[in-house]
């Protein structure tokens, strides 16, 4: 594999391109007109403009990407995450074109892309699953009967869902029909598939996911877990590895279960198996057949470059290490830096990065795709960067993250950095007393507003600046005459 096209944009495109360069593989970037000046475009050896800014006219044009890749003699296509990364039809077309899709097989994507198909596949492996049904319900009457059997609250979920779309929590039978209609409608508009099923809603679970790696020679292993319980609108915002609550026994059990899930669909490459953890009992949730946004925390604690492993597996190589070779080194935390306003229900914000300065120092990693002066486009996910830290312990990692957040200088748009700092300082987060409702239970937007007013009041800043300037001017005047005289006399003596 001598040339690889990265079918993505921004930070994940740049992340993959860097590993390609280290592997001495030539690279091709793709971009929309909105991303013409993006760092990933300049970094690649070659670049192709796909079209106008909307994804449907650029990054989702699978056939055009394949056509352009063939013209340039590309050997493989890495999809990153999002866009076409879990599109089985695209993966199949890549393979039929004679190029390599750097990801799992079409078979694996199809099975794990449907939550119902995934449930059916793992069922024979005796993996714990959330109480509910493993088939699409026909109508609200059937759904109510099922809900009455397993007990409220229940969750109506889209079979083809993801990112919290097509999901509705139902507390009682009286609103089931209405909520089901909304879930079906959202599923159809988001995924083109209105199939939904019902399962028990676990009210306060932790979200734990296991990173797996599999090759095409029958070797499968896991690289431990990531804690992803800090979420808003079913979207992760802060992740860490390892989890602070897993015992060695539970970690081993969940790791083995994750490997079995991967084997159930003949998985190949890097993937993630997600579980809900409730009172030390875990339940299979779903499998993501791609690289995860939060993969850096796993890389930090294991020392494994997951993108490199994906590429090696796609080239037909065996995994270069075994399960017993892996161990957890320290603790890592990732904060997703979004162009969002946490004080206004995390609404996306757009604008110009008037100032953009990354934090530095030991144990700090920033995966991003922006530079100072660039605009945040409205067409794509509002994530600016992933801020990752690594330290010897969780306590040190939290302190390092707080330091890194304080050094991250972004102006011109609102970001989630203040919110992330609030989480790092929260006593329950410090204690690792978490569940997926953490933000809903504990976050009060007024805390950020009040904090910003107290520290960023323009009048206070101006007054402080003027006071410092006056003091400096007075001190300068008192010493200028003497200093100038000495400087002149010294200059004359040197002459």
Burial class (CB within 10 angstroms; exposed 0-12, middle 13-18, buried 19+) of 334: buried
Do you know the residue count of the chain?
495
**Of the candidates 138, 143, 15, 165, the residue with the CA atom closest to the CA atom of residue 78:** 15
**Of the candidates 407, 418, 397, the residue with the CA atom closest to the CA atom of residue 359:** 407
Q: Which two tokens stand for residue 103?
A: 């990801």
> Among all chains, which residue has been given the structure tokens 């794509």?
380
Q: Could you tell me if 115 and 161 are in contact, meaning their C-beta atoms sit under 8 angstroms apart?
A: yes
CA distance readout (Å), 46 to 12, 17, 169, 228, 464:
17, 11, 47, 36, 50
Helix (H/G/I), strand (E/B), else coil: 272: strand
Q: Could you tell me if 155 and 168 are in contact, meaning their C-beta atoms sit under 8 angstroms apart?
A: yes
Let me know if 290 is a catalytic residue.
yes
Whole-number Å distance between alpha carbons of 381 and 365? 21
Q: Could you tell me if 49 and 28 are in contact, meaning their C-beta atoms sit under 8 angstroms apart?
A: no
Please count the other Cβ atoms lying within 10 Å of the Cβ belonging to residue 483.
10
Active-site annotation holder among 168, 290, 358, 394: 290
> Among all chains, which residue has been given the structure tokens 């602070």?
244
DSSP string, 4-60: EEE---HHHHHHHHHHHHHTT-EEEEEEEGGGTT-HHHHHSSEEEEEESSSGGGTTT
**Of the candidates 7, 15, 11, 5, the residue with the CA atom closest to the CA atom of residue 308:** 15
Whole-number Å distance between alpha carbons of 258 and 208? 11
Catalytic residue numbers? Answer: 290
């Amino acid at each position: 594999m001598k040339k690889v096209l990265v079918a993505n944009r921004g930070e994940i495109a740049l992340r993959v391109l860097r590993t390609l360069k280290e592997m001495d593989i030539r690279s091709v970037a793709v971009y929309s007109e909105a991303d013409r000046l993006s760092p990933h475009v300049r970094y690649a050896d070659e670049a192709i403009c796909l079209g106008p800014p909307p994804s449907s006219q650029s990054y989702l044009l699978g056939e055009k990407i394949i056509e352009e890749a063939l013209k340039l003699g590309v050997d493989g296509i890495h999809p990153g995450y999002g866009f076409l990364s879990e599109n089985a039809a695209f993966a199949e077309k890549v393979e039929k074109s004679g190029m390599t899709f750097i990801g799992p097989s079409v078979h694996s994507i199809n099975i794990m892309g449907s939550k119902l198909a995934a449930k059916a596949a793992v069922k024979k492996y005796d993996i714990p699953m959330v109480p509910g049904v493993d088939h699409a319900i026909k109508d609200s009457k059937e759904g109510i009967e099922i809900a009455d059997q397993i007990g409220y609250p229940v969750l109506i979920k889209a079979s083809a869902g993801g990112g919290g779309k097509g999901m509705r929590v139902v507390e009682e039978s009286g609103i089931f029909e209405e909520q089901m209609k909304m879930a079906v409608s959202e599923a159809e508009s988001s995924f083109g598939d209105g199939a939904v099923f019902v399962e028990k809603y676990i009210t306060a679970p932790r979200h734990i996911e296991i990173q797996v790696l599999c090759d095409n020679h029958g070797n499968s292993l896991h690289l431990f877990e990531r804690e992803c319980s800090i979420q808003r609108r079913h979207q992760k915002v802060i992740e860490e590895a390892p989890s602070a609550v897993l015992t060695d026994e539970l970690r081993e059990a969940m790791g083995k279960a994750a490997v079995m899930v991967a084997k159930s669909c003949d998985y190949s490459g890097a993937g993630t198996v997600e579980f809900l953890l409730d009172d030390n009992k875990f339940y299979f949730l779903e499998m993501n057949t791609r690289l995860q946004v939060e993969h850096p925390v796993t890389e930090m604690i294991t020392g494994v470059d997951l993108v490199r492993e994906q590429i090696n597996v796609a080239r037909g190589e065996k995994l270069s290490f075994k399960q017993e070779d892996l161990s957890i080194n320290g603790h890592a935390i990732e904060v997703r830096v979004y162009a969002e306003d946490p004080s206004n229900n995390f609404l996306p914000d757009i604008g110009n990065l008037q100032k953009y300065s990354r934090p530095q120092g030991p144990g700090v990693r920033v995966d991003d795709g922006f530079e100072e002066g660039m605009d945040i486009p409205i067409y794509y996910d509002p994530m600016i960067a992933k801020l990752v830290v690594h330290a010897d312990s969780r306590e040190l990692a939290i302190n390092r993250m707080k330091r890194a957040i304080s050094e991250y200088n972004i102006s011109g748009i609102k970001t989630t950095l203040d919110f992330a700092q609030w989480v790092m300082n929260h006593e329950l987060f410090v204690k690792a007393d978490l569940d997926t409702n953490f933000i809903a239970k504990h976050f009060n937007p007024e805390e950020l507003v009040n904090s910003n007013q107290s520290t960023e009041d323009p009048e206070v800043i101006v007054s402080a600046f003027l006071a410092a300037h006056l003091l400096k001017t007075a001190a300068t005047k008192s010493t200028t005459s003497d200093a100038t005289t000495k400087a002149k006399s010294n200059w004359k003596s040197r002459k």
